[in-house]
Amino acid sequence: MSPKKIYFAGHNNFGNRGCEALIRSITKLIREKSPHVTFKTPSREISLDSAQWPNSSTEGISFVEANTANSKIVWWDRCRRIIPLIEQFNRPIFKLSDQVIKDIAESDLMIMTGGDNITLDYGLGSLYGITSFVDCAKKHGVPVILWGGSVGPFTNKPHIEKFMRTHLEDYSHISVRESYSKKYLSDLGLSNVSLITDPAFALQPETFDCSNIMPSSDKGVVGINFSPLVRKFRDNEESRKTFDNDIIMFVNWIIEQGYGVVLIPHVGQLNGSDINSDYHYMNGLLGNMSISNQQVKLAPPNLNAAQLKHLISKTRFFIGARTHSTIAALSSCIPTTSIAYSVKALGINRDLFGNIDYILNTQDVSLSTLKTHFTTLVDNESSIKSLLQTKIPKWKKSAELPVDIVCKYLGA
């Protein structure tokens, strides 16, 4: 019998280390129970993704062609922004390439990953692009499972909500990573839904010598992740410059308190581009800091997701804008503030802590709020660590729950 094949939809590169963390975690969890399963993993640049995970083939990974952006859907999305009424009468057809269709048709199961692909965070065009993969799988009789994503809400667009409610019934099973999504889908009348934790909670760190990255400090090191994405939430360039300066002053203030600081990028294209690059953004901030490089350091841009988790685990406190950077910290039992721009961070924190005390909304980021949140982490360090040490082992087990569902559909 030939090995069972799984196709990963909602993924196309390892530049976002959160996406990489999901693929690494899911494949390891499945192969621990069914070691001969292989995974068709779409990649826009196979050579770069392969270099990011040198032993990926031994883990069952086979990199395949990723679908390219469809010009028609791009133009539809632009027209929709100018004439919003268009979206109520026309759903664009997102054409998959012949090779992608072949890869899907030859698979035994499709796993939709990507965390927040089935939301409006990336726009309606992106959402319709994601739905086309499920349409293709359905056409070829390939079951589809959503593994640990956030879904919706689509409440502000009733016509989209109506479409998505019907579309989500095409999934064989939907597992969501926070109770907010679970309740939303239950309220829509969907019954094929279970609540788990994000698979990246189960990501195994990859140890390496990070001593040259960690500044020396008797009080420990604070890990910080800021991204150009959160900066875009400011209305104008003057407000964005204020945002930048507040971060710089905050880092200076932490140093004054006797801590070291390591700036940790978690998203950045593997070809070195500065587009949506945490590294380039924080490097620019670092250039404007009048601080010794013995007190604050910037982690290199080429670390993989597992190495970043190891690095983050060495910090005493963490403040992060990228969701999976905060998951790496929380799952390492590090007291963490999550800078949130969507329901996903709110939902994860509410489920984990029972409150959102350690959430800082993107629009509220300032020197004052950053100081307040850091002080809260310091004051509650012991109780936070105690709660995490109790809960995280259970959350790691919860991340494994879809494995049995996968095996059922694979007959493994």
> Which secondary structure element, helix H or strand E, spans residue 176, and what is its range?
strand 173-176
Average pLDDT, the chain: 92
Q: Mean pLDDT throughout 131-136?
A: 94
| Token pair belonging to 39 | 């995974």
At residue 94, the pLDDT reads 79
* pLDDT over 70, % of the chain: 97
Q: Mean pLDDT throughout 40-61?
A: 94
Give the residues across from 62 on adjacent strands: 40
Q: Mean pLDDT throughout 21-31?
A: 96
Give 238's contacts (C-beta < 8 A, 6+ positions apart): none
| Token pair belonging to 362 | 């993107």
At residue 74, the pLDDT reads 74
Query: At residue 16, does pLDDT exceed 70?
Result: yes
For the ranges 29-33, 83-87, 310-314, which has the lowest average pLDDT?
83-87
Say if residues 73 and 129 touch (Cβ distance below 8 Å). yes
Residue with more model confidence, 272 or 385: 385
User: Does residue 7 come out as left (phi exceeding 0), alpha (psi in the -120 to 50 range) or beta?
Assistant: beta
At residue 92, the pLDDT reads 76
CA-to-CA separations, 243 to 70, 219, 284, 363, in angstroms, rounded: 35, 27, 13, 10
Query: The pTM is what?
Result: 0.93
At residue 220, the pLDDT reads 95
At residue 343, the pLDDT reads 66
Q: Mean pLDDT throughout 243-252?
A: 94
pLDDT in tens, 226-243: 999 888 888 888 888 999
Query: At residue 195, does pLDDT exceed 90?
Result: yes
Q: Is the backbone peptide bond immediately before 153 cis, with ω within 30 degrees of 0?
A: yes
User: Does residue 317 come out as left (phi exceeding 0), alpha (psi in the -120 to 50 range) or beta?
Assistant: beta
Q: Mean pLDDT throughout 198-220?
A: 94
Say if residues 125 and 86 touch (Cβ distance below 8 Å). no
At residue 124, the pLDDT reads 84
At residue 83, the pLDDT reads 81
Give the count of beta carbons closer than 10 Å to the beta carbon of residue 272.
12
At residue 71, the pLDDT reads 66
Domains and CATH numbers, the chain: 5-203+397-410 (3.40.50), 221-334+336-379 (3.40.50.2000)
Query: At residue 73, does pLDDT exceed 80?
Result: no
Give 230's contacts (C-beta < 8 A, 6+ positions apart): 321, 339, 341, 362, 365
Measure the CA–CA gap between 189 and 185, rounded to whole angstroms. 7
